[in-house]
Structure 1
Amino acid sequence: MSTLKQIKPTESELEILQILWNRGKATVREVHEELSVSKESGYTTTLKLMQIMFEKGLVTRDDSSKTHIYEPLISKESTQKQLVGKMVTSLFGGSTSSLVMQALGSGATSKEELEEIQKILDNLKNH
């Protein structure tokens, strides 16, 4: 997987990456169809974005057949880690606890998510 220090996906690129992470791989048409459910965008815009993503090294492209198949080159986990790290530094002054308190304070956390968070906290305390 590529390092994300040089590669910073835009918001639109992150939307496409999310689709590719969920699917594993997809054609431009498949990505466009999924994107168009939540936002209005032309097919050529999706195609251009995915070509740029290929040039940036965010995705790989299998062009052995007429229909190109795209796959993510960067992992969801490394992307999340980089973006959260940047957010903690830029928005929360380096305070992880401020980020967590803000996220939990939104009130949108389910009981199951809170239990999972508690397990993570317990593991961190024990190490």
Structure 2
Amino acid sequence: MFLQLGNARLWIAPRLAELLHQLAKAPRQRSNLSRRPANQIPWLFPGVLPRHPLSRKAFNDQLARHGIQARPARTAAPIARAAELPPSVLAELLDVHIHTALNWAHHAQRDWSAYLTARITDRDGGG
């Protein structure tokens, strides 16, 4: 199961996926102000405003009340990507400054010199 948060698709562990399925199927007590049109897909985490999802801050606050801290995962995710991708590719892919991507690569302790050498050789027409 994947959870769509904005443009990001996050893999959900099977146990948590089952709990989220139960949450999605559970009837909700809602006020008349937040009723949605029949053709609109309901949010798994509805916000205070009608037709809007729960804000990121409110979602993080609810997670924190249950002892779940999202910041370590948000910090670890780009570092994990930096172990798989060169900083120049990562910076372009995630639209971050190259220094940020280099910092993540440093934390991942990954050396991309072989990749850079291959790119220079390819560019110069070497074999």
TM-score normalised by length of structure 2 = 0.28
RCO higher in 1 or 2 (8 Å CA, sep ≥ 6)?
Answer: 1
TM-score normalised by length of structure 1 = 0.28
Normalized per residue, which structure has more helix? Answer: 1
Highest CA radius of gyration, 1 or 2? 2
